[in-house]
């Protein structure tokens, strides 16, 4: 006896097949009847419209499936163990002595997979071949022993594919020194809205947080040419 899951799959597949290809029936019948001198514009129009809708829905389904596969590959993160890769590894150099976790997209057979590789002292071991770094997190302690993390995600033109050979060392160039800037984001009446932007050496936007502590809005001070504080306050989230 067929299980409910297989029955649902069979019924769903049959429905999709009828929806995707059923338009051929009225279209072909209409064309054949017209060729025999029996005008059937209604069947041809129905078949054509049905076919257009089917192709459109099929395109949307394919796009959704590809988007789902990409999102799933990014959500399903697998740890990369360099010790299991033998000599088929390369080194990405990071301008920081902090502990690092680099997330990158690579291939596992014919599938796309997101990996996380950990490194120390400015070096992260990654597999050879084509990889695309997508995120970097640096973790270090301050003089008081408090742990801080600096995180960046690579988007758009900053997300570049790297082709690495065995034993190669490549400068990733992403990380400190950090530069903080205050930018005017808008004006509302007599109020000015300022954004605090933190960027690394390569211009990537970073977020710095203290681990284990609820996020607080950063504070600011405005000093004059004599170095005296003339204004201070806190930025607001949101």
Boundary (domain end) residue, out of 122, 149, 171: 171
Region for residue 11 given its phi and psi (left: phi exceeds 0; alpha: psi -120 to 50; beta: otherwise) = alpha
Q: Can you give the residue range of the structural domain that contains 146?
A: 77-171
Q: Judge if 83 and 141 occupy the same domain.
A: yes
Q: Judge if 123 and 156 occupy the same domain.
A: yes
Residue-wise pLDDT tens digits, 15-58:
555 555 555 556 566 666 666 666 666 666 666 666 666 666 66
Question: Can you give the pTM of this predicted structure?
Answer: 0.61
Q: Judge if 191 and 127 occupy the same domain.
A: no
Least confident of 17-26, 127-136, 203-212: 17-26
Q: Judge if 113 and 144 occupy the same domain.
A: yes
CATH number at residue 109: 2.60.40
Q: Judge if 156 and 101 occupy the same domain.
A: yes
């Amino acid at each position: 006896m067929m299980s409910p899951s297989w029955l649902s799959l069979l019924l769903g597949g049959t429905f999709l097949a009828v929806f995707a290809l059923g338009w051929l029936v009225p279209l072909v019948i209409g064309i054949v009847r017209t060729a025999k001198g029996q005008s059937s514009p209604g069947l041809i129009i129905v078949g054509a419209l049905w076919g257009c809708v089917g192709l459109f829905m099929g395109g949307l389904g394919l796009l959704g499936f590809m988007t789902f596969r990409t999102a799933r590959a990014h959500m399903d993160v697998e740890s990369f163990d360099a010790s299991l890769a033998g000599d088929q590894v390369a080194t990405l150099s990071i301008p920081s002595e902090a502990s690092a976790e680099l997330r990158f997209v690579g291939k596992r057979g014919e599938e796309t997979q997101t990996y996380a590789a950990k490194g120390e002292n400015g070096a992260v071991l990654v597999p050879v071949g084509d990889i695309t770094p997508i995120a970097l997190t640096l973790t270090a302690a301050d003089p008081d022993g408090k742990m801080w993390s600096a995180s960046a995600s690579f988007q758009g033109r900053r997300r570049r594919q790297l082709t690495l050979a065995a034993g190669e060392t490549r400068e990733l160039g992403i990380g400190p020194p950090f530069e903080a800037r205050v930018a005017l984001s808008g004006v509302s009446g007599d109020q000015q809205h300022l954004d605090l932007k933190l960027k690394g050496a390569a211009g990537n936007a970073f977020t710095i947080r203290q681990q284990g502590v609820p996020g607080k809005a950063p504070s600011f001070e405005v000093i004059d040419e004599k170095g005296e504080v003339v204004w201070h306050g806190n930025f607001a989230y949101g």
